[in-house]
Copies of this chain bind each other. A is one copy, B any other.
Amino acid sequence: MAFMIAQRAYIKLFLITKVEQRRGYGYQMLEELKQEFAPFGYVPPQSEIYRALHELVQEGVLFRTKQLKGSDPSVDFQEIVLYQFTDDGTEKAELYKKQVKTDLDRCIGMLNKAVRDNY
């Protein structure tokens, strides 16, 4: 058993939830996460978000569709990669979340123990 939860797993969790709420793309979700974690002084690195998304595709949870960002192609040519759940992606995601939940609880327990025992 590893000591703490990995950053990758932690980020994947949030990405899954974001895709649950609405189809999203990497850069967008990255910026949102930066905002959310700002109070903790934690800046999720760009590379980790993309690595996490790639892994979720590899694992068959998400699939990619490319698409132009703006509604008017003559104005906005920016191509983005949208992520959404595969057919059985929702199930797989739920399973994954269940596993991560166990680990989260374990980690919280260990950190609380540190506070209890040493302060």
- State the A residues within 8 Å of B (CB): 1, 3-5, 7, 10, 13-14, 16-17, 36-37, 40-43, 97, 101, 104-115, 117-119
Contacts and interface: CB of A to CB of B under 8 A. Distances in A.
B119 A42 contact: no
Contacts of A42: 1, 3, 106, 110
A117 B114 CA distance: 24
A39 to B, nearest CB: 8
A104 B97 contact: no
A98 to B, nearest CB: 9
6 A-B pairs with least C-beta separation: A3-B7, A1-B41, A4-B4, A17-B118, A108-B111, A13-B118
A17 to B, nearest CB: 5
A41 B107 CA distance: 11
Given A1-B42, A4-B7, A111 B107 contact: yes
A97 B114 CA distance: 11
20 contacts: A4-B5, A10-B110, A10-B114, A14-B114, A16-B118, A17-B117, A17-B118, A36-B117, A40-B109, A40-B110, A40-B113, A41-B106, A42-B110, A97-B119, A101-B119, A104-B114, A105-B115, A108-B108, A108-B112, A111-B111
